[in-house]
Structure 1
């Protein structure tokens, strides 16, 4: 995502520099050139603001999607751990019951 933002920013900056240089070397009056530079700067500023908004929205959507995926993964891990803990408890209870039975049998023999 950062690479796309840098690419867009580089393209916009290059376009702006090219436009300004083209206007400066054009054979117009100074007042016309300044007006064209101001107009071009306003256009580029608006374009950059629009691209920044698009980038922010895209980043926000990406973060939201990743957060949802992470929430689902954490929920699955917790659920899985809960089932495994329940299995361990059942196994330990069964083993304890068997040991108590063996102990009871040993005490009867003694």
Structure 2
């Protein structure tokens, strides 16, 4: 956006210089020429102020848009992260259940072997 504002300022400055030179070389009285220069300067000032306001509004709108897009992206990523964490916790819980079941089965086998050994002794 900096390049765009430089172009606008350049156009406005060129217009002001051109208008001033045109008025200076025009065959008119000094009082009338100075008034025309003052009027043109005031007009250019108003145009520049208008351009500055437009530029400010565009920058503000762009900043708001960027803020909204970042907020949406952050919310989306947070939701994705929450889903991944939930999935990992669920998987870990299932694996823990599998390990506990396997250990319970092994313990039952060992108890059965131990009973057999105690009966034979």
Q: TM-score range by the shorter chain?
A: over 0.9
Corresponding position of 2:40 = 40
SS of aligned partner of 2:27: coil
The structure with the larger Rg is: 2
> For residues 45-91 of structure 1, what are the alpha-carbon distances to aligned partners after superposition, in whole Å with 9 as ceiling and x for unaligned?
00110111011111111111111111111100000110111000000
Instruction: Report how many residues are paired.
Output: 110
Corresponding position of 1:27 = 27
TM-score by length of 2: 0.86
TM-score by length of 1: 0.94
Alpha-carbon distance in structure 1 between the residues aligned to 2:83 and 2:92: 14
Gapped runs of 5+ residues in structure 2? 111-121
Q: Aligned Cα RMSD in Å?
A: 1.0
Q: Which runs of 4+ in 1 moved over 3 A?
A: none
